[in-house]
Structure formats: C-alpha cells, structure tokens
Amino acid sequence: MSEMTETEAQSRVSALCSTAEHCRSEVVEKMQRWGIAYEAIDRIADQLVQEGYINEERYCRAFIRDKYRFDKWGKVKIAQALQLKKIPPVVYTPCFSEIDDEEYLSILRALLQSKRKSVRASSEYEQNGKLVRFALSRGFELKDIRLCIDVPEENEYDG
C-alpha cells in the first residue's frame, strides 16, 4: 500500500470514530501503525477531539458499561484497562458512580454461582477461598465479593 496522506488518514479515522467509541490513544496507535508522521497524528487527533469524534468521558462510560455487563469485569480491572489506554483517573473515576450497584452485584453473584459449579474443593472454606481469588482476578473488590459470598472477616478464621 502506498503512503497515506494526512487528509486520507483524517477521513479514515473520522469514519472509524463515527461508527464506534474510540479513545485518543487507540486512534493515535492506529495512525502510528499506518506510518503517519507524529506531528500529523497530533494535529488529526486534536481535530477529532475538537469536532467531538473523540470524547474520553463518553468513551469511558461506554467502555465501563460494556466491560461489566458483557465481559463481567469488576471495577478494578476496568480501571486498569482504562489506565493502559492512557486515560487519566480524573476522567474515568466519576463514570464509575453511574454503575447501578444492584446490577453490578447481581452480575458478580451470577458469575460466582456459575464458577461455584466447576470449583473442586474439599471444604466450603477452601471453595470460598477459590471463589474469592477468582472474583479478585476478574477485578472485583473484596468488599463486593464479601456481599455475594458468605465469607467471614479474615480474623474470624483464626478461631
């Protein structure tokens, strides 16, 4: 393929952004792969932000909603993914407050019930430990996991 001009790149990226939400870093990465000059990439990205094709806050809302509803990710894992996309916490943190707590916990409950069927353990204590680790690996916080599994506080285990 021949060298892409700045105008061609701009129209391709605006078409891309008009069909689905993308953050600035995704668009920049894509243009870098196309071999566009860095100065041009900055100009194009700034233009897309100005014209409303790229809106990090709108992107975060969509990303967060999709990740917890469809991929069943917890808030911790979602926040890490947004950081990898170079989105500052000041942009995405307020978006987490829009998550419906009941829906979020029911997703976690369903995830744990489904996992419980495949977990092999010799005791309920061991099974709960495995379920907690599983939920933590999916990015859920311990306080939310405790609400969904009957797990006593750590110091109650010492007996």
Residues 11-38: tens digit of each pLDDT:
999 999 999 999 999 999 999 999 999 9
Q: How confident is the model at residue 3 (pLDDT cuts 50, 70, 90)?
A: confident
- The pTM for the full model equals 0.86
Averaged pLDDT for residues 123-140: 95
Residues 90-111: tens digit of each pLDDT:
999 999 999 999 999 999 999 9
Q: In the chain, what is the straight-line distance between the N-terminal and C-terminal CA atoms, in Å?
A: 70
Given a contact cutoff of 8 angstroms between Cβ atoms, the answer to whether 71 and 80 are in contact is no
Least confident of 96-110, 111-125, 138-152: 138-152
Given a contact cutoff of 8 angstroms between Cβ atoms, the answer to whether 139 and 150 are in contact is no
